[in-house]
Amino acid sequence: MHIILLSGDGVLTAHLHLKTLAPFAAEWWYTFPGIITTTKNTTDTTNTTTTTDTTKTTTPVTPTQPKPYSLTETFEYGSKIAYAPANVTLSSGVWNFDEAIIGSATADIKNGKSSARTNYGDCAITMMFDVTGITQLSFKYAFNDPSSFDNYPTTLQLMMSTNGGVTFNQVGNTISTDKAIFTFVTASFKITTNTKVRFRIQKTGSPKINLDDITFEGTGDPGFTITK
């Protein structure tokens, strides 16, 4: 007796072979299809590796740097012909002139067609607005009208307010002279402040003085512009 197993498409077929010996020799074949079914399990053992890019791309952020500014009040625009205290609108804004006018006469010392002119005695010109980010202020000054110079001591002071003009304190040194100066001299003052401020230029003594080209230098937004 023999049992033969044949496989096809995953199904086993059994063939049974029987054979007898003499004197009764005979053979029999029996087939039993599909008696055994096998199932092939396939497991994918491939390891899947997930790679995460941990590299971070960072774009550097450059802080915006404040831009420098330089603004000059030239007294070329605006009009005031009386020495009595009053406000006058200039290209930089409104100023108060106390015993001062806009001078454009031949005797006035000026860089252009006009400049500020003080009267005799105590006088002042004062900003009625504030400036921010300022680091330096300068202005030009000269004695007015050489023909009438009387050689009395004269002083100029730069004053600064940090509270909107309520009070003023002196900046730098007093400019003092008893000599005739009939061409412009530039006075410069370093300003150290972290708040908005306004300025006053004040004079004591004689004679009359011309002031011109008040220049504000700093960084960032000054808070005002030159309109003309």
The pair phi, psi for residue 89, each rounded to 5°, is -90, 120
Domain holding 150: CATH number? 2.60.120.260
166 within domain boundaries: yes
Q: What is the DSSP letter of 91?
A: S
- pLDDT recorded at residue 198: 98
161 within domain boundaries: yes
- pLDDT recorded at residue 34: 53
- Whole-number CA gyration radius for the chain: 51
- pLDDT recorded at residue 12: 47
Regarding whether 172 and 129 lie in a shared domain, the answer is yes
pTM of the model: 0.72
CA–CA dist 72, 213 (Å, integer): 6
- pLDDT recorded at residue 4: 47
Regarding whether 129 and 32 lie in a shared domain, the answer is no
191 within domain boundaries: yes
224 within domain boundaries: no
Token pair for 120? 């005799």
Regarding whether 82 and 27 lie in a shared domain, the answer is no
CA–CA dist 131, 80 (Å, integer): 23
Regarding whether 94 and 185 lie in a shared domain, the answer is yes
Regarding whether 212 and 126 lie in a shared domain, the answer is yes
Residues of the chain with pLDDT under 50: 3-7, 11-14, 16, 18, 28-30, 35-45
90 within domain boundaries: yes
- pLDDT recorded at residue 179: 73
Regarding whether 178 and 77 lie in a shared domain, the answer is yes
Regarding whether 144 and 33 lie in a shared domain, the answer is no
Regarding whether 178 and 124 lie in a shared domain, the answer is yes
- pLDDT recorded at residue 180: 75
Regarding whether 8 and 79 lie in a shared domain, the answer is no
Q: List the helix and strand counts (H, then E) for the chain.
A: 0, 15
Regarding whether 130 and 73 lie in a shared domain, the answer is yes
Q: Which residue has the tokens 């067609």?
A: 113
Please tell me the total count of domains within the chain: 2
Regarding whether 177 and 83 lie in a shared domain, the answer is yes
Q: Which range marks the domain in which residue 7 is found?
A: 2-37
Regarding whether 188 and 78 lie in a shared domain, the answer is yes
52 within domain boundaries: no
- Measured at the CA of 133, the angle between CA 226 and CA 127, to 5 degrees, comes to 50
- pLDDT recorded at residue 205: 87
22 within domain boundaries: yes
44 within domain boundaries: no
What are the tens digits of pLDDT across the range 45-55?
A: 455 555 555 56
Cis peptide leading into 33, omega within 30 of 0?
no
